[in-house]
Amino acid sequence: MNKLKSMTIPEIGVILKELGQPAFRAKQIYSWLHKGVRSYEEMTNLPKALRDTLQEKYPICAPEVVRKQESQKDGTIKYLWKLSDGNCVETVLMRYHYGNTVCISTEVGCKMGCAFCASTLGGLVRPLKPYEMLDQVLFTQVDSGLPVSHIVLMGIGEPLDNLSNVLRFLELVNSEEGMNISMRHISLSTCGLVPKIDELAQHKLQISLAISLHGPNNEIRNKIMPVNKAYPVEELIAACRRYYDKTSRRIHFEYAMINGLNDSPQQAKELLALLKGLPAHVNLIPLNHVEESPLKPSTKAAVAAFQNLLEQGGVTATVRRTLGSDIDASCGQLRRKYTQKR
């Protein structure tokens, strides 16, 4: 189902050839699918007979909005979508000065087990198909009426645990005949799957790579991120250096500030030492409190002091604005509440 929406134009061309159709139809179908149509009836430049055949062989399905919440504070919109198999994923639309940004999910659930994250509480259900990632961007744009210019792969799931589908999604969303979103406007965030970082580097994409670091050493990371036991922090940073050597893209580090755990001046200094010589940007994220977790956000003063120390040490650091805090906009919270209620 929806096979065509995960395909490139040449691949659709092969299917059309089998149906005895001219090659130019592939591009027409591709561009309709990438506009977010819900049925072949909308493809008005295709012959009726072809529309009927496609409907029968390759039915189009699109996600349905189960919940839509709009922040009164900052216009952030959060969608909970129902996929064709009944599973739900979340997408968040954020309005930044440089453009509307969608944060998409890459898997239904997650198996990474980070202690502070709501997305992983129920484990991994399944990875998303390329078109299911594309649909989140398309239908957020269609439903909100707001043009999307930036994408972050920072919703539910671990993108590098679903790398081949993510790579195909990036190819689709970047294509000129599709949404034509520049790779430079796309960020991919990972908890640190080292071999997959190396694999991604081989593709030399112009996307931004973000690493969920959250601690400057193994002791802290082991406490909150089980992935660190497989790929300790020194191996992770070595992989980041290799990634930079291959792509010349500065690495972004996300650092969720957790009260009393990773937010001391000593830890800021450790972080500086860890990142020494690596072109890096640190994004400090005040922890979003998750009901099931005992971890609490750092104080504003601790965040500011940490940021100052990084800046003084020559590493640019920004504090992420907390958008949509009135609508459960952080990772996996809405899906969790919805699936628990059923």
The interface region with ligand SAH, picked from 19-27, 49-57, 114-122, 238-246 by CB under 6 A, is: 114-122
Q: Report the residue number, 110 or 268, with the smaller CB distance to ligand SAH.
A: 110
Considering beta carbons, is residue 141 or 330 the nearer one to ligand SAH?
330
Q: Which is nearer to ligand SAH, 163 or 331 (CB)?
A: 331
Mask for 193-232, x = binds ligand SAH (CB under 6 A):
-------------------x--------------------
Torsion of CA 176, 178, 184, 185, to 10 degrees: 140
Closest CA to 159 of 187, 201, 125: 187
Count how many residues are written for the chain: 342
Integer Cα distance of 60 and 79 in angstroms: 20
Strand segments, DSSP code E, in 104-204 are: 107-109, 124-127, 148-153, 186-190
State which of residues 285, 309, 310, 334 lies at the interface with ligand SAH (CB under 6 A). Answer: 285
The DSSP result for 51-99, as a single string, is HHHHHHHS----PEEEEEEE-TTT--EEEEEEPTTS-EEEEEEEEETTE
Q: Would you call 269 exposed, middle or buried from its count of C-beta atoms within 10 A (0-12, 13-18, 19+)?
A: middle
Task: Find the binding residues for ligand SAH in span 41-70 (CB under 6 A).
Answer: none
Select the span of 67-75, 92-100, 134-142, 186-194 touching ligand SAH (CB under 6 A).
186-194
Q: Based on CB atoms, which residue is closest to ligand SAH, 84 or 325?
A: 325
Pairing state of beta strands 77-82 and 148-153? Answer: unpaired
Is 331 known to be catalytic?
yes
> Is 90 an active-site residue?
yes
- Tokens matching residue 265: 């001046």
Please identify, among the stretches 77-85, 174-182, 187-195, 307-315, the one whose residues bind ligand SAH according to the rule CB under 6 A.
187-195
Nearer to ligand SAH, 212 or 267 (CB): 212
**Site size with ligand SAH, rule: CB under 6 A:** 18
**Options 88, 110, 117, 331, the catalytic residue:** 331
Of 90, 107, 132, 158, catalytic: 90
From the list 32-40, 50-58, 264-272, 280-288, the region that binds ligand SAH by CB under 6 A is 280-288
Q: Using alpha carbons only, what angle is made at residue 189 by residues 186 and 193, rounded to the nearest 5 degrees?
A: 135
Q: Which residues have C-beta within 8 Å of that of residue 273, sequence separation ≥ 6? A: 216
Q: Which of 77, 133, 224, 256 binds ligand SAH (CB under 6 A)?
A: 256
Interface with ligand SAH includes 330 (CB under 6 A)?
yes
Q: Looking at 173, 181, 251, 287, which residue binds ligand SAH (CB under 6 A)?
A: 287
**Calpha distance 327→340 (Å, rounded):** 17
- Residue with structure tokens 């009944």? 86
Q: Alpha-carbon dihedral of residues 27, 31, 33, 37, nearest 10 degrees?
A: -130
**Which of 90, 135, 254, 328 contacts ligand SAH by CB under 6 A?**
254
Task: Select the residue interacting with ligand SAH from 158, 162, 197, 207 (CB under 6 A).
Answer: 158
Query: Binding residues for ligand SAH, per CB under 6 A?
Result: 112, 114, 116-117, 154, 158, 189-191, 212, 254, 256, 285, 287-288, 290, 330-331
Which residues are part of the catalytic machinery? 90, 331
